Every structure is written in structure tokens, then in C-alpha cells.
Amino acid sequence: MRKTLQEKMFHEMEQKDIFRQAQNYAFDYADHVLERNVYPTPDAIADLDMFVEKLPQSMGNAAEILEQLNQYGTPASVAHTGGRYFGFVNGGVIPASLAVRWLSDFWDQNTALYVISPVASKLEEVSESWLRELLGLPGKVVAGFVSGSSLAIFCGLAAARYRIFQNNNWDINKKGFCGAPKVRVVAGRQAHGTVVKAIALLGFGIDNIEWAETDAQGRIIPSEVPELDESTILILQAGNVSSGAFDSFDELCEKANKAHAWVHIDGAFGLWAAASVLLNHLTKGMEKADSFSVDGHKTLNTPYDSGIVLCNDKEALTNALHASGSYIAYSENRDGMLYTPEMSRRARAIELWAALKYLGKEGVDELVSGLHQRAVQIGQELKAENFQILNDVVFNQVLVACDSDKITVQTMRHIQESGECWVGGASWDGKAVIRVSVCSWATTEGDITRSVNAFVTARNKAVHELRNT
């Protein structure tokens, strides 16, 4: 007799064979990820067509689904958890945090309200406290746990918008923008694209941004910042996405504080420098800002889906993101939905808590400082091989160029095709560059030297090809 869908799934939960199957596949991946090609081969990418089919009409077999995913999905994955992926600021993943994610995924918690998940609420509260201590932020700073730094920026600027309008006796939630007082937005020319996107989504208008000029490293030149006032949002950067440079927080925040302007620091990967004894000089004075955006996965190496907005004005943040409904049961405990735009969301702070619990202050310092040391190493070794290093390697970003744009672009393409490591391209000061982002705890000194050898091989091949064209 054919089982109903409910009976079938009860059986799968009871037998647990599919979970053991997934575990075996995951362990096999972990056993080989450090030595496999960093980027999928052309054949592996072509095999992704095996997933193209019409929507099935009948119930499937879970074991067969897992087998298909492992057979065709695993080879087409990018080895972010290895030590030789430098293409984007992606980070690796701390084993303890990944293991906790597996467990919490089984819990399947919704973190909107305390009454929905007391454990998620408590671990958000603890993580918030630890983040304040780790990053040296004021005691009244609150945290919202969102999907990534893009949404964290949005939340920080939404809080700024609410506070500035409120100070001008304007309720933006009720009245909207029609007839509203003007809000000014000041940002550096090198602001990340997600900042620009948040400005657009919040209705400020990209054309209304007052751009401050930046220096050769991408830092805002303090003297180029226009006069600020109480209707201004000043957006600063902890870690330029190309050069890794940090704005002068102490000087710029002091200027903004005197003018009663709101300061938001976009610190997607760079804010963690505050936790490093070696690097915390880069973030001096950042505690004077009003809001911050940061990602757990980029530098702390939590699993993905770990953005954090930090805000020194709880009322502004919660009112900007407020939701209401007669069925919503707020409590005297932490209700997570007050600090994020989402209501239903997975308990993403649990693996952040696990990463902080596992690493402790010393471990976070060692991790963050280690990324910098490996970045310095690759910069030095590439320079010794006559590559041009175009930035001051102050954190984890390295900008590399060859003797011409054509050689640079061709070299990058050959590196990507080699499978030895993976890097991305960018444009810096009108010049084609190879952008190296050192973000994984798994990157060793040997990984760096091996990658440098791949650079040299790729450049030799590019020079030979261009000479013969």
C-alpha cells in the first residue's frame, strides 16, 4: 500500500538514513576540499544541466535526490572553505560554527519573538553583549542579526533616517517623504556599491549624494568633507573593498559629533580589525559612530547568512524597523524582530555565538591578525617576482598588476583557469588589477607560496601569448 506524504516523512525522520547519507557526502567533501581545484572544471559546470528538468509530478526519493546533488553539485561548487580562494571577501567556515549550524538547522527555529524561540533570543542577547566587548563599542549599542552586510547597511541608514526626521518633528513612518525636511547624505567616492544601493532603496536618491574625494588608498580626505549639520548622514568605511584602507574615524567622527550628524561605518569585513591588537589602530575612534554594519562570514568565518547591524540608538533602530499586529506577542525579553526588517528568519545568531564562544578574544585576534599576515606575505612574495603591488597592505586586501593591462587581464584569466587558486579582477585608478582577498582561516603559508607560483606561471603564459599575437 502506498504511503502518504506524511507517513513517508515520518519514516525518514525515524530511520535517519538520508541524514547519514548527507553526512557521508559532507565528510567526503571536507576530506578533499583543500587539494581539489578551487574553481569547477568546464566539465563539472556542463554537468549542471543534469538539474534541468520539468517539475516532477509525483513524490521523489530523498536518497536519490541527495545522490544527484552530490554527484553533480559537489564538483561544481567553489572551494571557499579551502585555503586558496581569494576572489571575493567570502571567508571560510569555522568547523565548530558549521557543526552548530547543523544542529540548529534541525531545531529549525524562528527568531522573530522570544515566545517562538527562547534559546534563539538568549543567544542573540549574549552575542550582542560579546560583540560590544570585542569591538570596543558603548554599552547601549544593540545588534540586529540579518542576512548580510547589504541589509545591515540598510538597517543602519534606516535608523539614521528615522532619527534625523524625528529630530525635525517629522514622522517618516506615517508621513513619508512628501513635504519632508531634507536629509543630506555624505559618502566617500570609494563607497561600496551596497551603500549606494541602500541609499537608493531608502529613497534618498543617488543623485543627491554629496561625494567626498578620496586619496590614493581610497580613504576620505577629511578636508574634502563638506560642512556637516544635524540633518546629515556621514558614511565612512572600515576596509575598502579593493585596497582594504580605513577612513580616519577619530577625526571624522569628532567632526560629525560636533555637528550632531549621524555617522554610519560600513565595516563589512574591516570592523573586525578592532578585535586585533596588531590592527586595532585602524579603527581608532570608531566607537564615536552611531551605527555600524559588519558580516560574520567575511572575516570571522561563520557560515553565510550572518550580517549584523549595530546601533547606538535603540529607539531609532527599532522604530525604523517596527512591525505591528494584534497577534504579535512582545515580551520583556529580547524579541529579535524588533531589530531587523524580517519577521520570520532562521536562527542565524546561533552559529555566530558558537564562533565567538569557540574562538574567544584570543582566537578572534589570532584569526584576524593571521589573515593580515598572509596578505602581507602574498604581497611580499609577488613583489619579489616583479609584480606591482598598488596598495598599502594594511589589512587583508592586495592589489596586483603586471607591466600592462593586457598582461594583467590575461594573467588573471590563466590563474582562474589553472584551478590552483582563484582571484578576481577590478579597476584601480584607471588601471586593470588582480584583486586578492585573504579571508579564510585555512590559508597557510604554503597556500600563499603555491598561489604565487600560479601567478608566475600564468604571467609567463600571458606574456608568451601576447608576444605571438
Q: Is the pLDDT assigned to residue 2 strictly greater than 90?
A: no
Say if residue 308 is in the same domain as residue 339. Answer: yes
pLDDT surpassing 90 at residue 326: no
What is the residue range of 185's domain? 99-356
Asked which of 336, 356, 376 is the last residue of a domain, the reply is 356
Q: Does residue 91 lie in a domain region?
A: no
In a domain, 93, yes or no: no
Contact 165, 183 (CB under 8 A): yes
Pair 113, 127 in one domain = yes
Based on the fold, state whether residues 127 and 236 are members of the same structural domain: yes
122-144 pLDDT per residue, tens = 999 999 999 999 999 999 999 99
The verdict on 201 and 282 lying in the same domain is yes
Tell me the per-residue pLDDT of 175-213, one tens digit each, with 9 for 90 and over.
999 999 999 999 999 999 999 999 999 999 999 999 999
* Exposure class string for 325-352: b at 16+ Cβ within 10 A, else e: eeeeeeeeebbbbbbbbbeebbbbbbbb
Give the span between the Cα atoms of 159 and 463, in whole angstroms. 52
Would you state the pLDDT for residue 239? 98
Shared domain check, 341 and 370: no
Domain limit, last residue, from 318, 333, 356: 356
User: What CATH number is attached to the domain comprising 416?
Assistant: 3.90.1150.170
Residue 143 backbone phi and psi in degrees, to 5:
-125, 140
At 444 the pLDDT is 98
Do 242 and 286 fall into the same domain?
A: yes
Query: Quick one: 351 and 372 in the same domain?
Result: no
* Residue that is last in its domain, among 297, 321, 356: 356
381-435: per-residue pLDDT in tens?
A: 999 999 999 999 999 999 999 999 999 999 999 999 999 999 999 999 999 999 9
Shared domain for 41 and 106, answered yes or no, is no
State the average pLDDT over residues 315-338.
89
Residue 24 lies in a domain: yes
Are 273 and 368 in contact by the 8 Å Cβ rule? The answer is: yes
Residue 244 lies in a domain: yes
pLDDT at position 465? 95
Indicate if the pLDDT at residue 324 is higher than 80: no
Q: How far apart are CA 168 and CA 171, in angstroms?
A: 9
Co-location of 293 and 408 in the same domain: no
136 shares a domain with 277:
yes
Task: Say yes or no to pLDDT of 310 above 80.
Answer: yes
Same-domain status, 151 and 137: yes
In a domain, 94, yes or no: no
Q: Is residue 429 part of a domain?
A: yes
Residues 37-50: what's their mean pLDDT?
Answer: 96
Domains of the chain: total: 3
Instruction: Give the cell for residue 48.
Output: 549542471
pLDDT at 325: 79
Q: Does 205 share its domain with 347? A: yes
CA distance 365 to 276: 4
- Supply the pTM of this predicted model: 0.96
CA distance 144 to 153: 11
CATH (domain of 157): 3.40.640.10
320 inside domain? yes
Q: Is the pLDDT of residue 88 over 80?
A: yes
CB neighbours of residue 237 within 10 Å? 26
Taking CA 82 as the corner, what is the angle to CA 135 and CA 275, rounded to the nearest 5 degrees?
10
Strands 431-437 and 424-428: antiparallel
Within a domain: 148: yes
